[in-house]
Amino acid sequence: MGEELHEECGIAAVYLRDDGSASNKALFYVYKLLLNMQNRGQLSAGFTTFDVKRLDLLKTYRNLGSVNEVFKTNNELKSARLFHRYAGTKAIGHVRYATCGKEERSYAQPFERFHGRMWKWFAFCFNGNLTNYADLRDQLLKKTDYHITRDTDTEIIMHYISRELAGSKKPDMVQVFHNLSKVFDGAYNIAMINANGDLIATRGPNGIRPLCYAIEDGNLLVASESNALMSCGMTCIKSLAPGEIIMVADGKVEIKRYAESKRKARCQFEWVYFSNVSSVIDDRSVYIVRKRLGEELAALEVEKITKEHVVVPVPDTAKAAGDAYAFSLGIPSVEGLIRNRYVGRTFIEGSSSHDKVQNKYTVIREVLEGKKVLLVDDSVVRGTTLRNLVRYIKDRGGAKEVHLRITCPPIRSPCFYGIDMSTIGELIYPSYDPHTEREELDENALKKMANDLGADSIIYQTIPNLIKAIGLPKSELCLGCLNADYPTPCGRKMFGLAKKAYDHGEVQTARTYEAARQC
């Protein structure tokens, strides 16, 4: 994707059987899991470990920065001290991008809640977004002497878990999460550990976000993406089903259903853009899906192909689709854009989108000069960066023409489930075609949009082709950002609020779900 789009977040969990050798190295595996899920969040990282041999049964460390920055791997001595200090037999971990709450250290996860009773002393982290966050927060604040310290759904989840753990008897965790499923609306995969050493991971009832696990030689590893588990040498990798919970207690691993999955709604964007290309989600390879998207896009091509045409995929997420698109048309796919992989989070990247494009990409003029470029990208959300990318390819690359080919259908509506685009006004396509709930495309709108982006033409993928490429029924996918068909009640109400604000010309300065009440 030419412009960065972010999601909240990635979670990991590790249980190592107590064999007297490697059982205290859970943090090492959490580090590897998080490192291989860096694509899911670069704002902060953190972890909680458990060790029955220390007074601090649970110990949490979290900070702003990439995984390697948080784990201090640029300093061998400091990193070794961190791994030694937080060694444990069980651990959870998290990488974050803020779609709710501030970009501060105190918002980094996991969150830890201290208590004298060990089952009430827990830490947790989650991936997703509570759509009814504002309503849940207000319900808590109505109670006498109740106080909330952070403006984030993570703290709300912590309070609701704590309420379920109230009382003098340790509750059944399956029942705890069953009760929470009746209250929470949205996407919420949770990894949790308590001071008894119980380890828990759950996937939300709708399955909007992916969650994978592997059990081998008595060890359990859980991660948001399968490629992270593969990096740890795991081979028997499975997806946790929507509404399922996987638990480790007293050395026994169990998988149970905690909530009915009334509607499976896997996020199509996980295959299109977010997930690592080597991952597998619910038995669907991300690479194969992107390859099929390129093939389906080629079938829509109307440009008369000549020897002047070359395909340039926007690195890196559009590479598989771009190569397949080019192969289907019988024309070369070239690396006319090179991504600088050593440019990460930096305060010197430049204040303008044009500066950011030049820092992130280098054009190869020798490849692009005088060519008619078919620029394949996975999606267009706000369009600002893509506009500068088209200009960059023409001005610096010397391309004669640039034709945009987008493997995802137009983003017409906001996302309320963990992708950082929650208002209609920030999206580019509705400004040309305001019919957010219509799947058909307006050709005049497309021509005007291409012209404003500086491109010679634009072709979008269709929703039927997208569904075909993923290979799951339409009823089992979340396509809310494409056709406003949201899978949860509060998601539908959030869209109504966002649409009303947009139709009345209101400029939304806050995310829709943060400003909303009473879903």
Tell the residue number behind the tokens 């997806």, with chain if given. Answer: 239
User: Does the annotation count 478 as an active-site position?
Assistant: no
Sign of CA dihedral 38, 44, 50, 51: positive
**Distances 349 to 340, 346, 353, 361 between C-alpha atoms, Å:** 12, 6, 9, 12
Find out whether 413 and 436 touch, Cβ atoms under 8 Å. Answer: yes
How many CB atoms neighbour CB 179 within 10 A?
A: 16
What is the Cβ-side half-sphere exposure of residue 298, based on CA atoms within 13 angstroms?
21
Tell the residue number behind the tokens 């590790």, with chain if given. Answer: 14
Q: How far apart are alpha carbons 66 and 76 in whole angstroms?
A: 17
**CA angle at 8 for the pair 495 and 142, rounded to the nearest 5°:** 65
Catalytic choice (9, 125, 481, 490): 9
The partner residues of 239 in beta bridges, in order of sequence, read 212
DSSP 180-216: HHTT--EEEEEEEEETT--EEEE--TT--S--EEEEE
Cis peptide before 135 (omega within 30 of 0): no
Find out whether 88 and 26 touch, Cβ atoms under 8 Å. Answer: yes
> Letter for the amino acid at 66?
S
- The tokens describing 143, both together, are 């109670």
| Nearest Cα to Cα of residue 356 among 385, 387, 392 | 385
**Distances 45 to 109, 272, 302, 342, 467 between C-alpha atoms, Å:** 7, 24, 46, 19, 34
Burial class from Cβ neighbours inside 10 Å (0-12, 13-18, 19+) for residue 458 reads: buried
| Nearest Cα to Cα of residue 481 among 97, 38, 2, 7 | 7
**What is the set of active-site residues?**
9
